[in-house]
Structure 1
Amino acid sequence: MGDLSMGQPADHSRRVAWLAQRAGFELGLDAQACECIYQTAVLRWVGCTANATEVSAAITDDVLGRAAVMALRPQDMGLLISPSKVVRHTQEISAIHCEISVIIASALGLGEPVTAALACLFETWDGNGYPRGIQGDDIPIAVMLVVLCGDVEILSREYGVAQAQQFLQLRADAVYPRRLVNLVSSRMQSWLNELNVPGDFTHPTSEGAADSVVDLSLLADAIDLKLPWLTGHSRRVAQLAATVAAQTGLPLAVQNSVVRAALLHGMGRVAIPNAVWNRTGPLTHADWERVRLSPYWTARVAGQIKSLEVEADIASHAYERLDGSGYYRAARNAATSPAHRVLPVVTTWLALLSPRPWRAAMDQDAAVDHLQKQASLGRFDPKITDALLGSARSSNWAASNALEARPTQSILTARECEVLHCISQGQSNKEAARVLGISPSTVRAHCENVFRKLDCKSRAAATLKAASLGLL
């Protein structure tokens, strides 16, 4: 997921992890240290969705712009802010990224060495990095090796090995220590040759997050962070998909796969810049082509995990239609199983009931009419559609996105939950104040209490923690 957010190939982080761990072994580091290096590399970009809003406020394309930065092509960044504001903006962006990365690593049960490294991802050897400006040996060696090998993977792909080596020397003793640059440069060609041999390059020490059973709700929440107006969307899709799959009589194992697929279905969305998703008018042809590829990227990335191959396939059918008018496969009736037909109906229903940057939320009656029409046109499975609408009649799904006080059995007060709901949707303090009928200063005070109680420093972190606690 993180690789797509950074505009990188889907296997970028795994390749960096292999290179960085190889360098660690070459340095004589023990197995535990090398495992830390690997996990740091794999999780390096896991916080990218959390700061996409802030990044897209600074550059025109939060995906390709970041790719340009990584490839040392600043002229292609598309900067939207004045150069004088870059430092402050960069510090905020890096702080959000690191905070989210640490939260996710902690939730995965990874140890202190990994979380300590993830807190320093943007620090540099000379002390000019972010967010804390630490330097030298105060920065974990895992960070230095991961950043260095990340540059190796990108720059060798962009410019070739010889020029990549020159770039590394220019950055030596500034971004990372020269001794590591010299070591990695001397091995670069042979390591890349080995890495590029077709086959699986998974690391040999398969401990930690690589083999752990991960709660996909955590991944879903991280995916939804990219666009504040999608906060909680993947969880709602999974909840409704579970109901519909059960009511249509799918086998229990298939029901479970559908629910897991629902939590994954938005993964490919991170490959498309926020400027496209937030557009209030019609999409250009080029933008629409990018949107159509989002389920392809879901299949591509989630499918890399062998235990999720079935779920990745189901998830990537979320925008297909039985008449072949969907995307990305344009799959028709005969090409889809009942398991593949649940998410298209569920995602459409919940999207219709929710506001989007380009339209207001649809009322429930209009949404019912829309679904029934789509089913009559042969685009949705009638049995799935009837099951969903039956559920809608028995429980008020239209209110699932409505602002309401959360359960009192919570570390937050009802008002704090309301404020959190507003800011998690991307509303400013003034906007939240207008919605809640209170003053901006009162909203600010509630935000401070929320951050203190949830032990976080950013909107994204508060959203992620609150989602995991069932507060959103």
Structure 2
Amino acid sequence: MTYIFSPTSPGPAGGAAPQDILRLGELLGALSHALDLTEGQPKGHCVRCCWIGMQPARELELPPQARSDLYFTLLLKDLGCSSNAARICQLYLTDDLSFKQNFKTVSGSRQGIEFLLRNTALGASPLQKLKTLGHVIARNGELAGELIETRCNRGASIARQMRFSEDVAEGIASLDEHWDGGGQPQGLKGAAIPLFSRIALMAQVADVFAASAGAEAAAAELEARAGSWFDPDLVPVFTAVIRRPGFLADLQDPGLEAEVFATPQAQHIHAVDEDYLDEIARAFSLVIDAKSPFTHGHSQRVARYTGLICDQLGFPPERRRWMVRGALLHDIGKLGISNTILDKPGKLTDEEFSLMKRHPVLGHEVLSRIAAFQELADVSAAHHERLDGKGYPYGMDASQLTQEMRVMAVADIFDALTAERPYRAAMPLEKTYAIMDGMAGPAIDPDCYAALQDAVTASGWPSASDAPLAAAEWDLPAAERSA
């Protein structure tokens, strides 16, 4: 079965498009690259894990539905990974991206202590580093359990929202359980650990070690952890795959992603119609906004304001729906920005602000991997551009900014100003309008801004449904953030 957009899906010019073929595997595989970003992993980590983990599935003779469920467990194993990023920065005084990346190679308590010594309180004073190390080492098991439980439960919850089976949700929830009962979050042991979780964890470790040290090192690592981390009966199945001639070359082949997306298992699931696309966009907006406590609800509010502006401007229903979907995903690139920047309570340095300005580019790289999302990627990536060409990341000006780009920029700025930030309270509507009045013309489109004001007035904002939550959008307006 292939999955096809409905005939009302917008094409490159915004009207109805011919039926673009969109396989669910391709869609979620592309979005899985955003999960790689927030885990600090090389591009394609989840896709490679999917490829690795599906090969033992043949040996295990899993039935078709189980293979399909395993496929999506592998592809989406890191759905909850953004939810503990801020907590990692807070507890360990470190960059969450490098912390997570380096943690993937830790296999025992001794290595764990060495890892903490290398990755805790980087750049802090000796006294601060000593105090922080003392705190986290004393509570290491408790803190690790807290972080893993948050991630696993969040990932399982989002998988359920995306209509996946309970087997997929449980596979994600138990990803960090170990065969000997020493894992997290429930301390499950042996066969009590879901099969999909056992396979996914082994695939993850295999990819990390194969990428850093080669195929033989990956196989040796699995064998070293047989009976402790891993099911001893599954390890030989995996190592036979890893030691197969050409394994590493296949794993690094640029065509591997297309192979993963074309597998029959990718197609044994719900049709990707407009309703399901909306659900996927909403689910990934939860992943995006979980990255920082100051962005809670941001994507859904920007989507709401985008829809209200589109209504005022007379967008056709199908185009409005498309815009709302893009607004839900507009900040997906923030998953690749460290929380040391996202959650910083003061002025960003020039270097930090340069890194912050990369998030639209990272988002464009993720969304543009989906052929049918090319225009959506362009619109979403332009939410920080200005009419006078002084925005980022591309410095586009009025001659290059479409109406859709201008709408999303206005919605994003409005939520940025009316939401809480670490260094200031949410601005009241009067002050927000005073700032945006000065931006109308040089920075934002006056017509889109007027449409926003009309929509706000008509909606009776702030109401229970439209009032901003305790959240922040860090980099808007750019002048305020860099001042």
If the TM-score is normalised by the length of the shorter chain, which range does it land in? 0.7 to 0.9
**Which of 209, 227, 233 does residue 155 from structure 1 map onto?**
209
Conservation of the 8 A alpha-carbon contact between 2:337 and 2:355: yes
Q: 1:78 is aligned with what amino acid?
A: T
- For 1:241, the equivalent position in structure 2 comes to 306
Residue 208 (str. 1) matches residue 269 (str. 2): yes
The residue type paired with residue 5 of structure 1 is T
Whole-Å separation in 2 of the counterparts to 1:142 and 1:211? 24
1:161 Cα deviation from its structure 2 partner = 2.5
Separation in structure 2 between the aligned mates of residue 9 and residue 317 of structure 1, nearest angstrom: 25
Alignment partner of 2:88 out of 55, 64, 83: 55
Residue type at the aligned position of 1:190: G
Quick one: which of 438, 451, 464 aligns to 1:387?
451
Aligned to 2:478: none
Which one of the candidate residues 31, 34, 46 is aligned to 1:13? 46
Identity of aligned residues (%): 27
Please give the TM-score of this superposition, normalised by the length of structure 1.
0.79
Q: Residue 37 of structure 2 contacts residue 335 of structure 2 at CA under 8 Å; is this kept in 1?
A: yes
Q: Which amino acid aligns with 1:208?
A: I
Give the equivalent residue in structure 1 for 2:385.
320
Q: Could you say if the C-alpha distance between residues 190 and 244 of structure 1 is closer, same or farther in structure 2, counting changes exceeding 3 Å?
A: same
How far did residue 301 of structure 1 move? 2.0
- Give TM-score, length-normalised by structure 2: 0.77
Q: Secondary structure at the match of 2:176?
A: coil
Displacement of 1:209 after TM fit?
Answer: 6.8
Shift of 1:251: 4.0
**Residue of structure 1 equivalent to 2:350:** 285
Q: Secondary structure at the match of 1:106?
A: helix
CA offsets 1:259-312 (integer angstroms, 9 cap, x no match): 111111121112212221121211122321221111122222233344433323
1:121–1:220 Cα change, 3 Å: same
One-letter amino acid matched to 1:151: V
* Contact 2:84 2:291 (C-alpha < 8 Å) held by counterparts: yes
Correspondence for 1:190 among 241, 246, 253: 246
The structural deviation recorded for 1:386 is 1.9
How far apart, CA to CA, are the structure 1 residues paired with 2:269 and 2:385? 35
Q: Contact 2:104–2:205 at 8 Å: present in 1 too? A: yes
| Structure 1 residue 49, shift from structure 2 partner | 2.1
Q: Structure 2 counterpart of 1:388, which letter?
A: L
Counterpart check, 1:374 vs 2:430: no
Please state if 1:355 is matched with 2:420: yes
Which residue identity lines up with residue 235 of structure 2 in the other structure?
A: V
SS in structure 2 of the partner of residue 208 of structure 1: coil
Structure 2: 5+ residue stretches without partners: 1-33, 122-131, 473-483
Matched AA of 2:89? S
Q: Distance in 2 between matches of 1:142 and 1:176?
A: 12
Query: Which residue of 229, 235, 249 maps to 1:181?
Result: 235
* Pairs within 5 Å for 1:432-447: none
Listed one character per residue, the Cα deviations across residues 304-360 of structure 1 (whole Å, up to 9, x for unaligned) are 344433323221211122222222222222222111111111111111112200222
The answer (yes or no) to whether the contact 1:320–1:329 under 8 Å persists in 2 is yes
Q: How far apart are 1:402 and its partner, in Å?
A: 8.4
1:134-173 alignment, distance < 5 Å = 134-173=188-227
Distance 2:235 2:349 in 1: 44
Aligned-partner Cα distance in 2 for 1:285–1:156:
36
| Preserved contact between residue 301 and residue 466 of structure 2 (Cα < 8 Å) | no
- How many pairs are equivalent? 407
- The structure-2 alpha-carbon separation of the partners of 1:116 and 1:342, relative to structure 1 and needing over 3 Å to count, comes to same
Structure 1 293/78 Cα, relative in aligned 2: closer, same or farther at 3 Å? same
Moved more, 11-20 or 329-338: 329-338
Task: Determine the structure 2 residue equivalent to 1:438.
Answer: none
Q: 1:353–1:398: 8 Å Cα contact kept in structure 2?
A: no
- Matches of 2:464 and 2:384, distance apart in 1: 22
Which structure has the higher relative contact order (CA within 8 Å, separation 6+)?
A: 2
- Tell me what 1:64 maps to: 98
- Residues in 1 aligned to 2:55 and 2:102: alpha-carbon distance in whole angstroms: 26
Instruction: Give SS of 2:120's match.
Output: coil
Q: Given the superposition, is the C-alpha separation of residues 71 and 313 from structure 1 closer, same or farther in structure 2, using an over 3 Å criterion?
A: farther
Please say if residues 21 and 35 of structure 1, whose CA atoms lie closer than 8 Å, have aligned partners that are also in contact: no
1:256 to 1:179, Cα distance in 2 relative to 1, 3 A:
same
Match 1:95 to one of 123, 131, 149: 149
Deviation of 1:241 (Å): 0.6
From 56, 67, 71, give the equivalent of 1:38: 71
Matching residue of 2:398 = 333
Residues 146/375 of structure 1: CA separation in 2 closer, same or farther (3 Å cut): same
- Residue 10 of structure 2 is matched in structure 1 by none
Distance 2:440 2:390 in 1: 13
**Using the alignment, how far apart are the partners of 1:120 and 1:315 within structure 2?**
34
| CA positional deviation for 1:151 | 1.3
Distance 1:320 1:307 in 2: 23
